Amino acid sequence: MKRLDGKVCIVTGGALGIGKAACIRLADEGARVAVTDIEDDEGQRLCDDIVERGGTAEFHHLDVTDEDAVTRVLADIADSLGGIDVLVNNAGISGIDKPTDEIPSEEWRKVIEVNVNGVFYCTRAAIPHLRRRGKGSIVNLSSIYGLIGAPDIPPYHASKGAVRLMTKTDALLYAKEGIRVNSVHPGFIWTPLVEAMAEASDEGAHAFRENLDALHPLGHVGAPEDIAAGIAYLASDDAKFVTGSELVIDGGYTAK
Ligand code: NAP
């Protein structure tokens, strides 16, 4: 018997990076996984790979900023995979990297729309399905940037701070229904999102990576699998007494 046998897990932004590692880990632990993303080819390829290694996975196109689509796609997933037990709100963007006084409003709103409103739309749509099950788990990807400041990407900090407290409010609102809600706070993890930041940096990708490594007391940035392990724990009944918590997986970054 595997830890997530019988559970249906939805991962947003599941085609790449942390979401992809989470889908693989959840499927390896026995879950039936709905991979959702705007990257259709990558998402479908991932599902094919999971099925090839003996798991269960389906791809569903989902832009988390499209609230009607969110409701429709979650209903489709519930029909197709047999309900919903776990929602991993993973889709996110880093957004514009300028000082606050130079940020156009539409760039600010773009980040909030994906990172904050997307979590709201998906959580709102998932609750009735989890309620039908009598319990459930929602895992929200915040960040170390939702815990501490840094002199960069202001809308991203705002968005991840919001996700941290949305998590606690929802944990309290739904605790009596057995629905647990927790946030995960990764340090820097080497994914396409961070690679893009490295490539856009003034110092160049190589120096960016070395500087990032040095910021983590363990001496290096993390791997998507490091975060996937935490997500799988929070999704599982091993975390049955865990709600409203902040799981920091950051190589010691915020311990300083
Ligand atoms: P990633 O490599 O960019 O992967 C995210 C996936 O989400 C991509 O496939 C992306 O598609 C997709 N996506 C973007 N906008 C979407 C939307 N509106 N609807 C649905 N899918 C969308 O990102 P990651 O580094 O794995 O990050 C995953 C989560 O962890 C994010 O919430 C991020 O903020 C958080 N996090 C990451 C780090 C890190 O260091 N990597 C640290 C702390 C927290 P596109 O490629 O087309 O954008």
Q: For residue range 144-154, what is the model confidence (pLDDT) as tens digits?
A: 999 999 999 99
pLDDT at residue number 198: 92
Question: Rounded to an integer, what distance in angstroms lies between the CA atom of residue 115 and that of residue 64?
Answer: 9
Q: From ligand 1's centre to the CA of 18, what distance in Å? A: 7
Identify the residue whose C-alpha is closest to ligand 1 atom 48: 93
Regarding the beta carbon of 55 and ligand 1, being less than 6 Å apart is answered no
Q: How far is CA 72 from CA 21, 52, 67, in A?
A: 25, 28, 9
| Per-residue pLDDT tens over the stretch 101-152 | 999 999 999 999 999 999 999 999 999 999 999 999 999 999 999 999 999 9
Ligand 1 and 65: CB distance under 6 A: yes
pLDDT the model gives residue 139: 99
Q: State the pLDDT at residue 4.
A: 98
**From 191, 209, 226, 227, mutation site for ligand 1 pocket: most ligand atoms within 8 A of C-beta:** 191
156 among known catalytic residues: yes
The minimum-distance atom of ligand 1 relative to the CA of 115 is 32
Predicted local distance difference test score (pLDDT) of residue 15: 98
Q: How far apart are CA 38 and CA 59, in angstroms?
A: 10
The pLDDT assigned to 39 comes to 98
Q: Identify the residue whose C-alpha is closest to ligand 1 atom 3.
A: 193
CA angle (13, 17, 20) in 5-degree steps: 65
Where are the alpha helices (H) located in 175-204, listed in sequence order? 192-200
Q: Is 148 in the pocket of ligand 1 (CB under 6 A)?
A: no
Structure tokens at 158: 């705002």
Distance from residue 176's CA to the centre of ligand 1 (Å): 31
The active-site residue out of 121, 145, 156, 233 is: 156
Q: Is 193 in the pocket of ligand 1 (CB under 6 A)?
A: yes
CA–centroid distance, 92 to ligand 1, in Å, is 4
Cα angle: 216, vertex 220, 221; to 5 degrees:
85
Which residue ranges of the chain lie beneath pLDDT 70? Answer: none
> What was the pLDDT predicted at 169?
99
Domain ranges of the chain: 8-187+223-255, 191-221
- pLDDT at residue 11, as a whole number: 99
Q: Which fold has domain 8-187+223-255?
A: Rossmann fold (3.40.50)
Does residue 11 have its Cβ closer than 6 Å to ligand 1?
A: no
